[in-house]
Structure 1
Amino acid sequence: MIEKRIEVADPQLVDKAAREMGGLAMGCTDAAGHVMAVTESIKRQVAVLGELQNVVGSLEADQRQATDAADEARTLSERARNRLSEGGETIARSVAEFGELTALVKSMGLQMTSVSAAMAQVSRTIETIDRIARTTNMLALNAAIEAEKAGDAGRTFAVVAAEVKKLALDTRSATVEISMTMESLNREGGVFLRDLTDGVTRATAAEKAFVRVNGTVSEVMALVDQMDAQAEDIARATNMIHKRVCRVGDELDGFSEDARANETLLGVAHSRMGDLETRANEMLDLIVHSGFALDDRRFVDLALDSGTEVRQNIEAALAKREIFAADVFDTTYRPVEGSNPQQYDNRFNEAADRLIQPILDRVSLSDPRIIGAAVTDVNGYLPTHLSSKSQKQRPNDPAWNALNSRNKCNFLDDATARAIASTADFMLTTYRQDLGVNGYRPVKNCFVPLIINGRRWGNFEIAYVD
């Protein structure tokens, strides 16, 4: 049997391997954070895509309505054009008929003027007949006088003179009646002529108005033709837009499906990266527990010593009855009214500020690589914090408060939950610290369980950069 001597490995190489493992754990944490950021970004993009799909759907519906409206407008303009064409023809016929009527009225006016002239001539003739009748009457009267003088010899002549006189009187009576009738006719004819003249004037004005209406109808028909042409152009444009919107919608659907598929793949990748991060952290924690990784070990020792100091301070205060166990383990968190981010009070706050905060401040200032120290109970509640992180909140300034008023808050993240569930004397893990606009940085965190008089209260923790 050949025996070989097993030599102890070079401690520096083991420490280097431990540092490399720490670097791996930090890299896994950083990569997992980036994958998470990309996943969240894709989720937001998928949500935006969903909104875009809704917008495109609404736009498609609007375009369909616009197309229907354009088609309806074309139909209405076609109807209007047909109606206007029919109306124009009717108006044109009416104008022609009204022109003929106006011409007839004018002709009647001219004829009435001729009738008036003839009646005037008749009146003058009647006056002449009347003068002749009066003269004849005078002659008959003289003949009767002369017949009376002649006696029996003029008796026959007297009879003739009497008949002539009677004829003259009848003629005068007839001329008087005719003259009265002519005067009445002249009056009626004058009124009728004035009315006829007024009618001719109004008919002429109406004819001109009809001509203007006919011109207006022609202009409206021209406008309707233009509107019909524009409606046809709009219909073509909306139809083209509708097709393009449908194409965009199809492209968005395909892109959304791809994005959701990528989101699923990234979710799987993030889950696997999380598993790798957990295993890397477990290996780092195991290496540190094995006594290697000297760089990390001194922070672990500092956390263990500081956690012991915190425990001793609390137990001493309990022994002196300065505080009571019910106060230390109080989990009745009362919301601080008006706080943003939300803060909570409990009965341990004042004692924690007195017994724990000085230790947190001292540890935080003991090494430039330490970025903070804190205590959290089993629910992730911080009854106190560093002095610089325990300032009074400013009203209406949540951003400042989130940086400077972190006490009395609850921060139960995955790492804190795993540390609370751990029964080891310490747990070393890594996480990504959010630096706001400056991005993130990988941080190591050492959790030490705080057991007060045999009862688990929570953890003491130190965060530092590698």
Structure 2
Amino acid sequence: MSTSVGSRRSHRPWRRGNEADAAAAGVVEVAEQAGRLGIELVDIAGNVDTIAETVAGQAETLTRLHERAGEMQAGNASVSRAADAVLDSSRQAAADVEASRIAVRDSLAAIHTLVGWVGSVAGELDSSRQALSDIGQIARQIHAIAERTHILALNARIEAARSGEAGKGFTVIADNVRQLADQSIEAAGSIDATLGKLGDQMGVLVEHGGEAREHAEAARTATGSISGLLDTFGAAMDGVEEQVSVIAETATGSGRQVEEFLSGLFGLVAGVETSSRELVAARTRVHTLLDVSEALIGGIASMGAPTPDTPFIDAVQRAAAEISSLFEQAVGSGAVRIDDLFDQDYRPVPRSAPLQHTTRYTTFTDRVLPAVQEPLLTLDERVAFAAAVDRNGYLPTHNRQFSHPQTDDPVWNTAHCRNRRVFDDRTGLAAARNTKPFLLQTYRRDMGGGTFALMKDVSAPIVVRGRHWGGLRLAYRV
């Protein structure tokens, strides 16, 4: 916000005499007090601005922190839900493992029983094989006895035949014995053949029984390993359930802490936002007081009473009028076109930091403005700069001491390369657009690198053929 001051200054002489001198002294005293008030208000306003910006930044940071904390809370809730789900799953898995362990143990018991039975069958097969071998031996003995009996019966018949009628009865007996021996031989051969087949089959069964016994023993060993693995897995599942339970409890506790933190953080954010709004309101009130102070100082100065600011006001009004005349003469002579002089197409200077611009009239002002602006620097040792700006605060041609070529250091550039830049802050824009005879302002000037200087800025309008071009600013330290 900016405040311009009354009408063109009156230069009527003050009445001589004690009363007039006292009144003039009183006016000067008021002007000086108002000036000091303005300086204090500017300093306060600058500090309030800095604090307001800092608090606003803190409010934004705290708001983002609150959002991140909310996201953290949501994430923690997700972790808690996931942990509860995992805990339920682990408990179910542990129950399933226990059920499987019981089932496997039952199966293992059955397998052990089967293994024992297979082993006993293999033993019985060995015994049966041995019995068959014994039976075969007996059959062979019967066969041998039957053969000898056959021979004996044959010999007996021969002897009976020799005996004639007396041996006929023995012949019949010998024939029957021989027939019985033949049947015994045949039966023994049949038994032996059958025993041979049974022996072969029994041999296969015994071989398979041996393999079955080996597989059964392997199964017994494997089932023992399975049982051990199930025990280990069950213990691991118990450990997982315990750990997941700890995670779930920790997530629940963390959720409560996050909620408490969010509650406190929300209160802090609300407090900082309230402070930020109050600081903005305070800044507005301070700026209003500053405007009133500046209006008071300008009003006193416009009355024609001599004040500490009078020499600067007079000098800037004369210089602004001279620049207006130079511009009009240049337009009349064709040195610059009126459209070029009011060009607002600000073209950025590549790789400039801070950003600089050029217009169609920048070269022209570089030629004509130094002759008017530079002498103003010698007006008083407190003068900091004297430079013309257009209506948008664009400063094409600065004093030579502030018009150095830019370097790679933006901080140095801010202090030493102030030409071709736009100064559209409160003070700069108010001076650029003021159309009153003069405008007196107090402000803090940014010197770069976080350094500020308390300044007064008096400006007067520059008019070319009835069109307001901008203003001439004269700044001096207080």
| TM-score normalized with structure 2 length | 0.88
**Secondary structure at 2:422's aligned position in 1?**
coil
Q: Describe the SS at the equivalent of 1:412.
A: coil
Distance 1:185 1:366 in 2: 141
Does the 8 Å contact 1:19/1:293 carry over to 2? no
User: Which has the bigger relative contact order, CA under 8 A and spacing at least 6?
Assistant: 2
Percent of aligned pairs sharing the same letter: 28
Q: What root-mean-square deviation, in Å, do the aligned CA atoms of Structure 1 and Structure 2 show?
A: 2.6
Match of 1:415 among 427, 435, 438: 427
* 1:280-319 mapped onto 2 (5 Å cutoff): 280-292=293-305, 294-319=307-332
| Cα distance between partner residues in 2 of 1:293 and 1:206 | 119
- Pair 1:52-2:65 in alignment: yes
What code does the residue aligned with 2:390 have?
D
Structure 2 residue runs of 5 or longer lacking an equivalent are 1-17
- For the pair 1:445 / 2:457, whether they are aligned, the reply is yes
1:387 aligns with 2:407: no
Work out whether 1:144 is the aligned partner of 2:154.
no
Distance 1:27 1:249 in 2: 41
Give distance in 2, aligned partners of 1:181 and 1:293.
154
Shift of 1:49: 1.7
Equivalent residue runs for 1:81-160 within 5 Å: 81-160=94-173
Q: Residue 276 of structure 1 corresponds to which residue in structure 2?
A: 289
Match of 1:449, SS state, is: strand
TM-score (norm. length: structure 1): 0.90
* Counterpart check, 1:231 vs 2:244: yes
Cα 1:210–1:293 change in 2 (3 A) is farther
- Per the TM alignment, residue 152 of structure 1 is displaced from its structure 2 partner at its CA by 4.1
My pick for the range that moved more, 13-22 or 239-248, is 13-22
State how 1:425-464 maps to structure 2 within 5 Å: 425-464=437-476
CA–CA distance in 1 between the matches of 2:404 and 2:165? 168
Task: Map 1:313-332 onto structure 2 (within 5 A).
Answer: 313-332=326-345
- Once the two structures are superposed, what CA deviation does each residue of 1:135-161 show, in whole Å capped at 9, x if it has no partner? 112222322333343344433323322
1:417/1:158 CA distance change after superposition, 3 Å: same
Q: CA deviation at 1:438?
A: 3.3
Paired residue for 1:251, among 251, 264, 276? Answer: 264
Distance in 2 between residues matched to 1:73 and 1:332, nearest whole Å: 66
- The answer for the alignment partner of 1:218 in structure 2 is 231
SS in 1 for 2:236: helix
How many aligned positions are there? 462
Unmatched tracts of structure 1, length 5 or more: none
User: How far has the Cα of 1:25 moved from its partner?
Assistant: 0.7
Q: Residue in 2 aligned with 1:163?
A: 176
CA distance in 2, matches of 1:27, 1:342: 32
Q: Secondary structure at the match of 2:421?
A: coil
Question: Are the equivalent residues in 1 in contact too, given 2:28–2:305 (CA < 8 A)?
Answer: yes
- Say if 1:29 and 1:430, in contact at 8 Å, map to a contact too: yes
Q: 1:116 to 1:406 in 2, by over 3 A?
A: same
AA in 2 matched with 1:407: N
Distance 1:14 1:164, change over 3 A: same
Q: Would the aligned equivalents of 2:384 and 2:477 in 1 still touch at CA under 8 Å?
A: yes
| CA displacement at 1:38 relative to structure 2 | 1.5
Q: Is the 8 A contact 2:455 2:476 kept in 1?
A: yes
Q: Aligned to 1:435, what secondary structure does the other structure show?
A: strand
Report how far residue 403 of structure 1 moved.
Answer: 4.4
Aligned residue for 1:22?
35
Tell me the distance in 2 between the aligned counterparts of 1:292 and 1:176. 162
User: Residue 387 of structure 2 contacts residue 474 of structure 2 at CA under 8 Å; is this kept in 1?
Assistant: yes
* Distance of 1:185 and 1:393 partners within structure 2: 116
- Cα deviation, residue 454, structure 1: 4.0
2: distance between equivalents of 1:352 and 1:279? Answer: 35
Displacement of 1:459 after TM fit? 0.6
Query: Hey, what's the Cα distance between the residues in 2 that align with 1:437 and 1:364?
Result: 24
CA contact (8 A) 1:16 1:293 kept: no
Of the structure 1 ranges 85-94 and 320-329, higher mean CA displacement relative to structure 2 is found in: 320-329
Q: Is the 8 A contact 2:317 2:438 kept in 1?
A: yes
**Which of the residues 74, 94, 101 maps onto 2:87?**
74
Most deviating of 430-439 and 54-63 = 430-439
1:65 — aligned with what? Answer: 78
